[in-house]
Chains A and B, each alone.
Chain A
């Protein structure tokens, strides 16, 4: 697969604050690419530059072969953006909102009606077309936000914290649609999120800290590099666990979580104490652990902790 986004030595400062510093990475076509970082890490600045909303200080940005500086209209035609907060016109109906936005991409008349029907079926909002956007629930509004971003069938969908505050049903619908679009249309998805379980499903992850790349790789590579394994041990007591001589934490009652450097060490520990390890499970570290190890900060429910 070709690189659909290529960023080289991107930098941007606001006065003395270096928001983005010499950032270089690429995103392959069809990838689910996750961009992680606490608030102020430089994620939104990078996205704003990518979308042509903010001038950069240095570096190059190429979207599907088009240079951002020279072919901004082509770049914009290839991007669909779901913003952190809904930016549709709350006083207008769903149809009026989508109609006015579609016209900005040259989609009018029958072409618009056809596309509207497709998206309404895909995102299940046929019954909302006449409703005023301001009167929709958060989940319903999010579906319309996504429909708006997909109006012009972009090659790249930028999702800026798309699921924050959403109910599980809408979150599932959103990810089902994203998966379908990636499978059927090879759409590339550029995701920023505070939910680490969403980042764990990504093909490639970049963790940003203070405007620089702090770590990058597939979720598995990151887990292997920055966290060890964990054994959850059931039906035992703390004296026996302490005697193992490995770091642990009590989850609840007689359940303990042991931190082990890697799977090999876990196997050795288990085979050395067969009578203790009768009820247990081994898991890789989570993306939260990776994030904490890389940045020294953790993300809990969208906030830095």
Chain B
């Protein structure tokens, strides 16, 4: 335990003292937030309005809240992996600088070393995530606030699980990287691809049936859906209170992936939590196992 806590402390300290690591991790979600608001906001808004049945009018604030909820949930879903990749750069950096040699020459077990990188990255990512979430909430407060305290707590719970999963995923990939060049290349690929795979850039409901079925096997998809559910629940309640028919609301929920289907079977939010948690635990186990088996 002494070794584990010392290593976690070292890794977190290094992350926040290394301005390159810290700012690159912090700036990624903030840039994404600006890009989402600037480029995707209007697209989402038009898409909602065109999806409404003829004769329905929706208050601007409600639409803004809906668009804002979708933007924030997309942002947090993507960042769970991209920020974890940035934060996890230390693992590769230690190989580049030789510090890893200095750590492995001690009696500390490889599994402890692996776990220390994991926990430190998860903590650093969570801190960045909380900053991002707060920035997102400020945006929502400006455009249309429909969140309850429970929603906020559930969003934090979603974020926590996504960070556990994203950190484990980045750890499994990073463990094979030995240069910062490889790290940047993989980081770019993952951040570009993961947004589509988890349904953050485009709702999965827009994809073909076959692709939807394939994506339903990926745990990240359920993380995005959980965030969507909790970030947009208040808006849907308000819509219902305003007299929107149930089928219209269900249609909108389907179109933004609040309702996910595994081979035509609706997946409940409890099941989504189970899938995400199980995937995170499995990924951590795989990562620790790889580290134990690898000699260098």
Contacts and interface: CB of A to CB of B under 8 A. Distances in A.
B57 interface: no
B265 interface: no
Nearest to B18: A91
B108 A104 contact: yes
B98 A85 contact: yes
Contacts of B103: 104
Interface in B263-296: 295-296
Interface in B1-45: 2-3, 5-7, 9-10, 13-14, 17-18
Contact of B2 (A72, A83, A91, A108): A108
B182 interface: no
Q: Which of A51, A96, A101, A104 has the most CB of B within 10 A?
A: A104
Main secondary structure of the interface of B (DSSP, over half): helix
Contacts, number: 71
A74 B181 CA distance: 37
B102 A106 contact: no
B13 A96 contact: yes
A85 B10 CA distance: 20
Contacts of B296: 53-54
A267 B12 CA distance: 69
B13 A104 contact: no
Nearest to A152: B106
Given A54-B296, A104-B106, A87 B99 contact: yes
B101 A106 contact: no
Contact of B107 (A54, A76, A88, A108): A76
A83 B102 contact: yes
A106 B109 CA distance: 13
A77 B105 CA distance: 9
Nearest to A91: B17
B7 A100 contact: yes
A72 B108 CA distance: 10
A99 B6 CA distance: 8
Contacts of A116: none
A40 interface: no
Contacts of B2: 103, 106, 108
B242 interface: no
A51 B100 CA distance: 13
Contacts of A176: none
B188 to A, nearest CB: 25
Contacts of B101: 53, 83, 87
Q: How large is the interface on A (under 10, 10 to 19, 20 to 34, 35 or more residues)?
A: 20 to 34
A79 B296 CA distance: 18
A105 B98 contact: no
Contact of A104 (B3, B97, B98, B295): B3
B46 interface: no
Q: How large is the interface on B (under 10, 10 to 19, 20 to 34, 35 or more residues)?
A: 20 to 34
B148 interface: no
Contacts of B5: 103
B105 A92 contact: no
A111 B113 CA distance: 23
B180 interface: no
Interface in A58-87: 72-73, 76-77, 79, 81, 83, 85, 87
B105 A51 contact: yes
B237 interface: no
B104 interface: yes
Interface in A31-75: 51-55, 72-73
A90 interface: yes
Contact of A77 (B14, B98, B107): B107
B3 A103 contact: yes
A51 B9 CA distance: 25
For the complex of A and B, 7 pairs with smallest distance between CB atoms: A103-B6, A87-B98, A104-B106, A100-B10, A87-B102, A91-B17, A73-B107
19 contacts: A53-B296, A73-B107, A81-B102, A85-B98, A87-B99, A89-B14, A91-B14, A96-B10, A99-B6, A100-B10, A103-B2, A103-B5, A103-B7, A104-B7, A104-B103, A104-B108, A106-B2, A108-B6, A148-B102
Given A53-B105, A104-B7, A106-B2, 15 more contacts: A51-B105, A52-B105, A53-B101, A54-B295, A76-B105, A76-B106, A83-B101, A87-B98, A87-B102, A89-B14, A91-B18, A92-B17, A105-B107, A106-B3, A108-B6
